[in-house]
């Protein structure tokens, strides 16, 4: 029964995603074919024939690369999400999941200067869910936190990952003291394909995926952010009885 529920929710989420995907993938493909077509036409004219620097033959391979990287990032995220993993929800130790995700990203060279704090409630009840999906949720939040810390100056860049029980729910928090979000950014943060990151880096699918993962776990996700000061993302899971 529950397995079927997970599966149907997943299919519904994929359907919603797919609607936006065709459009989103269309733009970089059109750009790549346009640029490539132009390069073929001008093959014999040599570099530097264009008036605008942006369209200069020497720049075009960069544009192609940028658009192609954006495409592969989008397709990678979608296939991670849509790949046929058997639905296998079970009782899980969220603290353990957080510990392994954090030890994974400690190898990321961007984290070298970042302090990664773990404040885990040792009495935390188990949550009912899918390990792969939870890992994806945690990784997405950690990557966003790392990205937000990249430009931070004048304070020790810090990510705090914590768990607690809050009003009868299990709460997981990922907090950073990075650049934060302006009101307009926060308002669109959960929209599919909304990103403030450069092409090839952001897909705008991270938070929408987090949202649908939380929905499938019958939970909620909330973001508080202060521009210039940092961001806190909280995910709330129901506590289920182990029968």
Smallest distance, Å, CB 153 to ligand ADP?
Answer: 15
Smallest distance, Å, CB 80 to ligand ADP?
Answer: 13
**φ, ψ for residue 116, nearest 5 deg:** -110, 110
Q: Sort strands 230-238 and 158-166 into parallel, antiparallel or unpaired.
A: unpaired
Write the CA distances from 67 to 25, 28, 79, 81, integer angstroms: 10, 5, 18, 22
- The footprint of ligand ADP on this chain (CB under 6 A) covers a number of residues equal to 23
- The mark string for 154-193 relative to ligand ADP (x by CB under 6 A, - otherwise) is ----------------------x-xxxx---x---x----
Question: Which run of H or of E encompasses 115?
Answer: strand 115-119
Q: Which is nearer to ligand ADP, 133 or 195 (CB)?
A: 195
Q: Which is nearer to ligand ADP, 10 or 179 (CB)?
A: 179
Quote the tokens at residue 8: 């149907």
Sites for ligand ADP among residues 117-146 (CB under 6 A)? 140, 144-145
Q: Which is nearer to ligand ADP, 129 or 206 (CB)?
A: 206
Nearest to residue 111, comparing CAs of 155, 154, 158?
Answer: 158
Q: How many CB atoms lie within 10 A of CB 92?
A: 16
Q: Which is nearer to ligand ADP, 130 or 176 (CB)?
A: 176
Nearest to residue 211, comparing CAs of 227, 235, 177?
Answer: 235
Sites for ligand ADP among residues 195-224 (CB under 6 A)? 195-197, 202-208
- As a whole number of angstroms, the distance between CA 105 and CA 85 comes to 23
Q: Which is nearer to ligand ADP, 94 or 221 (CB)?
A: 221
114 belongs to the binding site for ligand ADP (CB under 6 A): no
Smallest distance, Å, CB 186 to ligand ADP?
Answer: 8
| CB-side neighbour CA atoms (13 Å) of 225 | 23
Q: Which is nearer to ligand ADP, 144 or 234 (CB)?
A: 144
Residue nearest to ligand ADP (CB): 206
- As a whole number of angstroms, the distance between CA 133 and CA 89 comes to 10
Question: Measured over all CA atoms, what is the biggest interatomic distance in the chain, rounded to whole angstroms?
Answer: 74
| Tokens 């997981």, located at residue | 172
Smallest distance, Å, CB 67 to ligand ADP?
Answer: 16
Residues binding ligand ADP (CB under 6 A): 140, 144-145, 148, 176, 178-181, 185, 189, 194-197, 202-208, 231
């Amino acid at each position: 029964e529950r397995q079927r529920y997970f599966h149907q929710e997943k299919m519904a989420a994929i359907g919603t995603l797919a609607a936006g995907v065709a459009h989103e993938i269309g733009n970089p493909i059109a750009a790549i074919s346009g640029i490539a077509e132009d390069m073929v036409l001008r093959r014999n004219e040599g570099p530097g024939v264009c008036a605008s620097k942006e369209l200069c033959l020497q720049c075009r391979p960069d544009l192609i690369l940028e658009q192609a990287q954006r495409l592969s990032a989008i397709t990678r995220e979608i296939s991670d999400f849509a790949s046929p993993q058997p639905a296998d929800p079970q009782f899980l130790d969220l603290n353990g999941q957080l510990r392994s995700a954090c030890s994974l990203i400690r190898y990321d060279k961007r984290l070298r200067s970042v302090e990664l704090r773990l404040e885990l409630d040792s009495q935390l009840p188990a949550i009912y869910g899918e390990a792969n999906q939870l890992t994806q949720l945690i990784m997405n939040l950690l990557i966003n936190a790392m990205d937000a810390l990249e430009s931070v100056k004048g304070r020790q860049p810090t990510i705090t990952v914590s768990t607690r029980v809050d009003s009868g729910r299990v709460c997981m928090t990922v907090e950073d003291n990075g650049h934060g979000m302006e009101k307009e950014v926060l308002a669109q943060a959960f929209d599919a394909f909304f990103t403030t990151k450069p092409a090839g880096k952001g897909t705008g699918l991270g938070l929408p995926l987090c949202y649908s993962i939380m929905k499938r776990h019958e939970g909620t996700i909330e973001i508080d952010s202060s521009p210039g000061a940092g961001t806190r993302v909280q995910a709330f899971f129901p506590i289920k009885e182990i029968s």
